[in-house]
Amino acid sequence: MKETQLIQHTIAFVKAELQDAEGGHDWFHIERVFNISNLLLKHEEGNATVVKLAALLHDIADPKFHGGDESIGPQTAKNFLESLSVDERTIDHVVNIIKHMSFKNSLDKTGESFTSKELQIVQDADRLDAIGAIGIARAFNYGGFKNRELHNPDVPPNLNMSKEKYKKSTAPTINHFYEKLLLLKDKMNTETGKKLAEERHKFMLDYLDQFYKEWNGTK
């Protein structure tokens, strides 16, 4: 199967699977990550087919919406790619990217590790969609989905969370900026990703400055 057909089949599959997904982890999130991955590929070396497939399938079954089960996503992607007779090497690479690219897995210092240039590209694209204007919108959308407080001055951010504590956190959404979003700029892998993250990071800092002024009634 030609790459163009493979990508089109994958897009159709992902759209169908995520039809009723939470707004921050829906098809449009996937589409943005796919587009950013393609942008990064113009400046970074990597296997384009692996990058595109991993970008499209990386959230096919996000553990947050499947009782914390981290095996469903990789297995779903594997089954789908096998159904299209994709070669085993490509499938293994895509599945490994899905298994290892999430932020929470970076908090796990004991688990197995995997990296590749392709993982770095897709991971940067996913992280770029978690910051800036879109990142702010996604954070509050998910906070609303989980009925979390916007902000609570009596609940400080936890900057030393383990992977398990992070997964179980019910903290106010503003805390998420300090526990994850503001950390992502310095976790970018590629030079292009680092450059793109600068403006988005600054936008979040400006937003937080305005947020606290309005919260405290000083502006």
CATH code of the domain in which 119 resides: 1.10.3210.50
Mean of the per-residue pLDDT values of the chain: 91
Tell me the C-alpha distance between 121 and 105, whole Å.
Answer: 17
Confirm if 129 and 12 have CB atoms less than 8 A apart. no
**Each residue of 97-142: pLDDT tens digit?**
999 988 765 655 556 688 999 999 999 999 999 999 999 999 999 9
Going by pLDDT thresholds of 50, 70 and 90, the confidence category of residue 67 is low
| Confidence (pTM) | 0.90
The boundaries of the domain holding residue 52 are 3-215
Q: What is the pLDDT of residue 109?
A: 58
| Sequence-separated contacts (24+) of 66-71 with Cβ below 8 Å | 68/167, 70/99
How many distinct structural domains can be found in the chain?
1
